[in-house]
């Protein structure tokens, strides 16, 4: 008798669960029997270099920093350029050319693995001021306005942070034509968003 009463009491409970399950299914809610796999999280570039490569350490010359693209911003990396002794003006142009060469060459294997790239064209050259230019002018073989926003940002930030400029966070750049050179600034906004537009610039006066 006790067994029969226990069975009778359980029947309404089982029926209620069955009705509830049907209602949930009708609402589009279904039980998940297999854990959902959303896949791995999106990969992110590290922009971090553990140690300088042996080839970089072995080169003797002037230690410099060049700005490469990593993710959506500019990040500086250590490089070395060879600079022969000479007059200050010629030395400044030599440093600038060495920096351009470093910017335009393919990032090292370690840099590529960390996510670094460059937008500076290979073969770009630089020369000193022409008559009437400010004495700290650097003229590129390609007009600054013809460069990509990110490529110009790399050049401006690299030059302005080196012996090629006055060290005030700006650099005077011109092109191969007779256009008046302009003073470009490497701001926090330029370093954070180099693709957003060309670096801010202003007109220059004569020397």
User: Is 193 a residue whose pLDDT tops 60?
Assistant: yes
Q: What is the mean pLDDT of the chain?
A: 79
Asked if residue 135 lies in contact with residue 129, where contact means CB atoms within 8 angstroms, the answer is: yes
Asked if residue 67 lies in contact with residue 187, where contact means CB atoms within 8 angstroms, the answer is: no
Residues 6+ apart with CB under 8 A from 64: 78, 79, 80, 81, 95, 98, 99, 102, 158, 162
Beta-carbon count within 10 A of 158 CB: 27
Asked if residue 68 lies in contact with residue 118, where contact means CB atoms within 8 angstroms, the answer is: yes
pLDDT grade for 37, boundaries at 50, 70 and 90: very low
What is the rounded distance in angstroms from the CA atom of residue 33 to the CA atom of residue 31?
6
Q: How confident is the model over 131-157, as pLDDT tens digits? A: 999 999 999 999 999 999 999 999 999
How do the domains of the chain map onto residue ranges? 60-201
Q: What angle do CA 149, 152, 153 make, to 5 degrees?
A: 80
Confidence (pLDDT) at 13: 42
Confidence (pLDDT) at 207: 61
Beta-carbon count within 10 A of 45 CB: 14
Confidence (pLDDT) at 14: 40
Helix (H) or strand (E) holding 110: helix 109-114
Confidence (pLDDT) at 29: 37
Q: How confident is the model over 78-99, as pLDDT tens digits? A: 999 987 776 566 789 999 999 9
Residue that wins the pLDDT comparison between 49 and 35? 49
User: Is 117 a residue whose pLDDT tops 70?
Assistant: yes
pLDDT grade for 55, boundaries at 50, 70 and 90: very low
Confidence (pLDDT) at 58: 46
Phi, psi of 187 (to 5 degrees): -100, 170
Bridge partners (DSSP) of residue 76 are 67
Asked if residue 204 lies in contact with residue 134, where contact means CB atoms within 8 angstroms, the answer is: yes
Q: What angle do CA 91, 198, 194 make, to 5 degrees?
A: 90
What pTM was estimated for this model as a whole?
Answer: 0.74
Q: Please identify which residue in the block is written with the tokens 């650099």.
A: 171
């Amino acid at each position: 008798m006790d067994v029969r009463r226990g069975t009778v009491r359980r029947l309404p409970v089982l029926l209620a669960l069955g009705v509830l399950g049907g209602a949930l299914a009708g609402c589009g809610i279904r039980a998940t029997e297999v854990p959902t796999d959303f896949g791995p999280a999106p990969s992110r570039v590290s922009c971090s270099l553990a140690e300088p490569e042996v080839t970089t350490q072995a080169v003797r010359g002037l230690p410099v920093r060049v700005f490469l693209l990593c993710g959506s911003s500019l990040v500086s990396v250590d490089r070395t350029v060879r600079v022969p002794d000479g007059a200050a003006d010629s030395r400044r142009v030599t440093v600038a050319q060495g920096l351009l060469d470093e910017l335009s060459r393919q990032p090292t294997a370690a840099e590529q693995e960390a996510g670094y790239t460059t937008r500076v064209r290979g073969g770009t050259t630089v020369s000193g001021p022409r008559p009437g230019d400010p004495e700290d002018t650097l003229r590129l073989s390609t007009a600054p306005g013809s460069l990509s926003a990110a490529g110009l940002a790399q050049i401006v930030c690299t030059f302005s942070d080196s012996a090629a400029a006055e060290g005030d966070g700006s650099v005077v750049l011109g092109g191969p034509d007779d256009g008046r050179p302009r003073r470009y600034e490497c701001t926090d906004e330029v370093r954070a968003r180099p693709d957003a537009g060309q670096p801010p610039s202003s007109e220059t006066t004569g020397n």
